[in-house]
Amino acid sequence: MADRIIVGMSGGVDSSVAAARLIEQGHHVTGLFMKNWEEDDTEEYCSATEDLADAREVCKTLGIDLHTVNFSHEYWNNVFQLFLTEYRLGRTPNPDVVCNKEIKFKEFLRWALDLGADYIATGHYARLQRKERNFLLRKGRDGGKDQSYFLHTLDQEALRYANFPIGELQKDRVRAMAQDMGLPVHNKKDSTGICFIGERRFNDFLSRFLPARTGQIKTLDGEVMGEHQGCYYYTIGQRQGLGIGGEGEAWYVAQKDVKRNIVYVVQGHDHPSLMHKVVLAEDMHWITGLPPVLPTLCKAKVRYRQEDQSCVISMLGPNFSRIVFDQPQWAVTPGQSIVFYNDDVCIGGGIIRSAQD
């Protein structure tokens, strides 16, 4: 008996091929386009209208129905408010991680199950494996596109209903399949904007919610190097947009003091102030529901585009961990996710709160 699967259709090539593969496998497939941001139709950078049009064209080509659901209220309360709170505190959050947890694998999943679906599917580059009574979240086969990092907060209940039809594929194969199938989005560029909000001039967008507050850019020795428009707009390791010239190596953001509204910079990519071996993390989540026996040796990454790094995790409190890396990590950023792996299996992660030497 064919499963009834509802696919989250973004209007992009990945979700389109995901739906097409499920149809080829004989499943009863329906599409769902989620609208999660109430934007002004004149907004230059929001592509929700175009994405919906693309999703409709794809579903028409595939011969499946497309539902549209507005989760903007849930997105605002459960994702975007947290996003703003973290920025106000001087941290750099990762809304894609929270969006997956709160919207795609909570609100969407609940909506789909109420509609009678057996599973939901997305175009994520990740894989699932059932092992005894647990579901394992494995990296996508395409190492350059693997998205398990953004899925590390999922629990067993969410994974039980999840399906990742393109997790075994390379990205170039996905595009080739889309072209062979005659899908109109086969050459559409990948989205790089904020989850469901789109691609925008980030500081301009953020200033609508966190007004500019001029302050000083200083070296760690206290020398004033320039002026900034607000600590929130800067992240650890940032090089562009500092407005600092002169001779020598490039300047990077090394620290922020939100209370005093100061951004501290250092010169040189490998400055010692940008390198740390110890990370403190909280809001720990383990995909099996139980933490590993600690201390434990594993691999981790402190940002999405990073090779896995060897480390040891130890627990300092019920939901608070200390991670010691074999090698110093560059520009560890409070608010970002640290995600843990055993080989290609994602075991969980947490939110970075600070880094130490």
Backbone torsions φ then ψ of 215, nearest 5 degrees: -150, -175
Residue 313: closest CA among 351, 290, 281: 281
Q: Which two tokens stand for residue 355?
A: 């880094």
99 is catalytic: yes
Backbone torsions φ then ψ of 82, nearest 5 degrees: -65, -40
Backbone torsions φ then ψ of 10, nearest 5 degrees: -95, -10
* From 99, 298, 311, 346, active-site residue: 99
Separation between Cα atoms, residue 40 and residue 287, nearest integer Å: 38
Q: Decide if 76 contacts 70 (C-beta within 8 A).
A: no
* From 195, 231, 298, 346, active-site residue: 195
195 is catalytic: yes
Inter-CA distances, 157 with 133, 134, 147, 289, Å = 12, 10, 19, 10
Residues marked active site are found at 99, 195
